[in-house]
Each structure stands twice: as structure tokens, then as C-alpha cells.
């Protein structure tokens, strides 16, 4: 005699299969909805058969770049010791001189003012709307400042016959500011600012949909 048992495996397997199909369909829908850029976006375009389109007109590109405005890309910090002095050529400094040493901390900020970008600085390949060349405005040293909280008088000596010159410290700080600015320029802050700005603008252009980007 043969005994048969009803296990229910057939109906269970069917439900699992249907559930897997539904889960896969939901995954595809989510993928197509969110994959809009880059390689995933291109794959989604092939799957859905949708047309990839983006505005590559020069005015639109210029507007997008100009929105970055004054792009600060480099902050150059420096600590230095600066000397300021007043002296009398006829009288020794110990009698008529005034001397100060400042320990100065300051910084220079450089970048590119993208508000100066002009339409003629942007060229889009007529044969390939995904290829673009952008010539950036010149890099600039925007500002050099002295951090007064981290700067201090290291030494001060005044002659026996003269009062303390109240303007000597402020004049020395102004001198320090010029020295910091010159040091930043000598160390190549403008070249670094341009390099960083090129990378930033290139990233923006790739994000707009361009695949061949040249920024100079």
C-alpha cells in the first residue's frame, strides 16, 4: 500500500516566484526613476528607451558657471616676524630711536571671479554637443588680512629722549600685510587658485551632462 502526503510545495513555490517578480519590477522602477546621470543614467536610458536631453546652449552654461560667483579656491596662511622702526640719523637709537618687533599671523585668499566669464569664453563643439571648452578669467588675490587675535608685539624699545610713537605698531602691521601678500604671490598662490578653479568648473560641467570637458 502506498501512502501519499500533501506537502503544499507547489503552491508555496508559485507564491515565491510571483513575489520575486513583483520585487524585481519594483527594483527596476526605482532604478529608472533615480538613475538620471552618469553611467547608471545611460543604462537606464537604454532600458527605458527614453531620450537623453540637456540644454547645451552657451547662455545656459555661462549662467551656471557665473552662479559660482567669486570662487575662493586657496587660503594661504603664514606666520612671520616683522620689524618697524623710527630713527634719527643724527642721534643714536638709544636716545631717539623707536623700534618694534611683531609676531604676525595672517592669510591671503585667492580664486577666480566667475562673474567675469563672457559668452565668448565658452565653446561647444558643433559636431558633438557633449564636448565643451571653457577659458576661465584670470585668477586674483582677493584679500590679505592680519589675524589680530593671533598676532602680538614681541619686543618694543624706545629712546630716552622721545615718546612712544603710537602709529608705529599700526604702520608695522600694514608693512606685514604687504609682506604676507608678496609671500603668497611668490609661493604661487595664483597658479594654485587657477588649478583648483579648473577642477571645480570641470566637475560642474560633467554634472550638466558634458562628457568631454576642457577648462583652461
Find the domain containing 24 and state its range.
9-48
Cell numbers at 172, concatenated? 608695522
Does 112 lie in the same domain as 196? yes
Reported as a single tens digit per residue, the pLDDT across 58-116 is: 888 899 898 888 999 999 999 888 888 776 776 776 665 678 888 999 999 999 999 99
- Quote the longest CA-to-CA distance of the chain: 134
105 lies in some domain = yes
Q: Which residues pair with 77 in a beta bridge?
A: 107
> Cell 622721545 appears where?
162
Q: Is 84 left (phi over 0), alpha (psi -120 to 50) or beta?
A: beta
Reported as a single tens digit per residue, the pLDDT across 30-45 is: 544 555 555 555 555 5
Does 26 lie in the same domain as 69? no
90 lies in some domain = yes
Angle at 67 between CA 61 and CA 70, to 5 degrees: 125
Does 79 lie in the same domain as 21? no
Does 144 lie in the same domain as 39? no
**Is 21 a residue whose pLDDT tops 70?**
no
Report the pLDDT value the prediction gives residue 74, as an integer from 0 to 100: 93
Does 197 lie in the same domain as 99? yes
Does 37 lie in the same domain as 136? no
Does 188 lie in the same domain as 167? yes
Does 37 lie in the same domain as 14? yes
Radius of gyration, alpha carbons of the chain: 33
Cell numbers at 149, concatenated? 587675535
Give the residue with greater pLDDT, 169 vs 32: 169
CB contact at 8 A, 198 and 136: yes
53 lies in some domain = no
Phi, psi of 173 (to 5 degrees): -65, -40
Does 103 lie in the same domain as 26? no
Cell numbers at 200, concatenated? 571645480
Instruction: Indicate the pLDDT class of residue 183, thresholds 50, 70 and 90.
Output: very high
Instruction: Indicate the pLDDT class of residue 10, thresholds 50, 70 and 90.
Output: low
Domain count, the chain: 2
Does 72 lie in the same domain as 26? no
Report the pLDDT value the prediction gives residue 93, as an integer from 0 to 100: 63
Residue 108 burial (C-beta neighbours within 10 Å; 0-12, 13-18, 19+): buried
pLDDT, mean over the chain: 79
Amino acid at each position: 500500500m502506498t501512502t501519499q502526503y500533501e506537502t503544499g510545495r507547489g503552491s508555496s513555490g508559485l507564491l515565491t516566484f510571483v513575489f520575486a517578480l513583483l520585487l524585481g519590477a519594483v527594483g527596476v522602477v526605482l532604478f529608472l526613476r533615480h538613475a538620471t546621470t552618469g553611467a547608471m543614467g545611460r543604462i537606464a536610458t537604454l532600458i527605458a528607451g527614453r531620450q537623453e536631453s540637456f540644454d547645451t546652449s552657451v547662455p545656459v552654461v555661462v549662467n551656471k558657471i557665473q552662479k559660482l560667483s567669486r570662487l575662493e579656491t586657496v587660503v594661504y596662511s603664514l606666520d612671520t616676524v616683522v620689524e618697524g622702526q623710527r630713527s634719527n640719523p643724527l642721534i643714536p637709537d638709544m636716545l631717539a630711536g623707536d623700534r618694534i618687533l611683531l609676531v604676525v599671523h595672517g592669510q591671503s585668499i585667492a580664486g577666480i571671479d566667475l562673474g567675469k566669464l563672457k559668452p565668448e569664453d565658452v565653446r561647444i563643439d558643433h559636431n558633438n554637443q557633449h564636448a565643451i571648452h571653457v577659458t576661465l578669467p584670470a585668477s586674483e588675490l582677493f584679500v590679505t588680512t592680519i589675524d589680530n587675535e593671533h598676532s602680538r608685539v614681541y619686543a618694543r624699545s624706545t629712546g630716552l629722549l622721545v615718546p612712544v610713537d603710537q602709529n608705529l605698531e599700526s604702520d608695522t602691521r600694514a608693512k606685514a600685510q604687504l609682506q604676507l601678500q608678496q609671500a603668497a604671490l611668490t609661493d604661487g598662490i595664483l597658479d594654485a587658485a587657477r588649478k583648483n578653479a579648473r577642477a571645480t568648473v570641470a566637475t560642474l560641467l560633467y554634472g550638466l551632462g558634458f562628457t568631454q570637458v576642457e577648462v583652461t
